[in-house]
Structure formats: C-alpha cells, structure tokens
Amino acid sequence: MSTTRSTAAGKVLEVLSTFGRDCQSQTLSEIAQRTGLPLSTAHRVVAELASWGALERAEDGSWHVGLRLWEIAAGCPRAQILRDVALPFMQDLYEATHENIQLAVREGTELVFVERIAGHRSVELVTMVGSRFPIGSTGMGRVLLAHAPGDIQEAVLDAPLRAWTPHTVTDPRTLRAQLDRIRREQVFVSDRQLSETTVAVAAPVRIGRTGPVGAALGIVIEARSASRARGLREPLLRAVQGISEELGRRARGAV
C-alpha cells in the first residue's frame, strides 16, 4: 500500500482525483473501483467531502464536484492575478476579432487553460477552461514550451509525441526548429495541430516587457479562415504587450 493511500488526506486526494473533464459524475461504486479503496472507506470519505461541500449528490445518486471546491480553486493566486490583469485585454481582443480568445499557463510538461472568451459564432473548440493538454500539442503550448527551461524542453522532445491530426508535428528535430522560430518571431501560427477544424495564433505573455514568460495568449479561428491569421498578429501583440506591462508593474509594486 502506498504512503499516500495510508493517510486520511491521501484517501481524500485519491477520491477527488477520480473526477475530471472526462469523468464529471460517478457512483460510489465507481469511485471505489477507480481508487481501489474498500467500498466502506470510499463511502466514508465521500460523505465527509459532501458534508464540507467538496462533492455534491445528484438526483440519480451519482456524485460530482461541489461548488465549495470550485470557490477555493478560483482563489489560486497564480491564476487569479493573471486573469484579473488579462481579462480587459482579452475582451478588447475579442471585440476586435470576434474569435475565441484563450489564456494558458504551463505546469510541468502540461498546458492548463485558465481563461477563455468566445462568442456564439466562434468556432467550436476541444479545449476549455481548466482542461490540460500535453504542452507540445497546441499552439499556445508550443509558445510556452519554446520559453520553458531546458530540462522541460528536452523531456518533451525525448518523449513520444502524439499525432492529434495528420498535420501534427511529431518529429523532434522539426519541433526543435519550430521552437527556435517561435523564440525569434514571437507570434506562432499553429495550423490544425490539435484539431483539423482550427488554426491558432499564439504569443507569449511576459512579466514585464522583457521579463520571463508566464503565460500564453491565443486566438483560435476556423481552419477555412486561415488566411486571416496574418492579420491577427498585430492585435495579438498589442494585447500581450499590455498584459505583460501590467504584470510587470504589479510585480514591481509587490517588491
């Protein structure tokens, strides 16, 4: 038995980890099966989480994540400050383009989407706020990968790369050259790398005009409108520059 599972907190974390975008609702038996915990133990942990508000029970008896857990997660300082600064610029960018605007950060070798603005006419996406993807799988992820520490880059380049579409770049040598180009050119156009129906235009968000990269901002359009990508470069750069400068100002004020 693992050390994590032998602790009360470990059991709680195991139960919570069974929920996600692909498993938003499940029965007590399914929770026990996925965690490997005895049904009686899973029942006790779920009951404690429910009494606190971390889990809620639906009318059909299944369980899903509760509002209390979302309230706590929404207070994550790393995401909250970034979102507070970025949202006005994202709104301006949406008004200028009427396309999907997304904000993401890197966590290890993964990309986490932390904010999104979309209109009812925007192209449908496979990503959403809170979802994670391998960092090399999306345009925004490759921008973050290009500016990640060397050990992170090598870990991604040394591992097998998934081909999400026939257009996905999976050759490590080609991807390495692409990362070099991203660092030189700032704006990256990701052509149908994650979905055959979308093209993304992404750029790095820095902490200060020349500071370290802390996030990536992207515009996602329909693949059939790919010719528009070049015209999105300047409004995207204005947005990331504004966010970067405001993040830098706040960082200096915190010193």
* DSSP string covering 122-177: SPP-S--TT-EEEGGGSHHHHHHHHTS-HHHHHHHHHSPPP-SSTT----HHHHHH
Rounded to whole angstroms, the Cα distance separating 228 from 246 reads 28
pLDDT at 208 over 50: yes
* Per-residue pLDDT reduced to its tens digit, 246-255: 999 887 765 4
Q: How many domains does the chain have?
A: 2
CATH number, position 17: 1.10.10.10
Distance CA 209, CA 188 (A): 18
Are 118 and 151 members of one domain?
A: yes
Range name among 17-21, 28-32, 139-143, 174-178 with the lowest pLDDT average: 17-21
Q: Are residues 30 and 47 in the same domain?
A: yes
Residues 20 and 144 in one domain: no
* Shared-domain flag, residues 174 and 228: yes
Pair 183, 221 in one domain: yes
Residue 120 and residue 47 share a domain: no
Q: Which of 72, 106, 131 is the last residue of a domain?
A: 72
97: CATH = 3.30.450.40
Question: To the nearest whole percent, how much of the chain has pLDDT over 70?
Answer: 90
Q: What is the pLDDT of residues 132-175, one digit of tens each?
A: 889 988 899 999 999 999 999 999 999 998 888 899 889 999 99
Q: Identify whether residues 62 and 124 lie together within a single domain.
A: no
Per-residue pLDDT, 86? 94
Q: Tell me which residue range forms the domain holding 33.
A: 3-72
Same-domain status, 232 and 116: yes
Same domain, 68 and 126: no
126: pLDDT strictly greater than 90? no
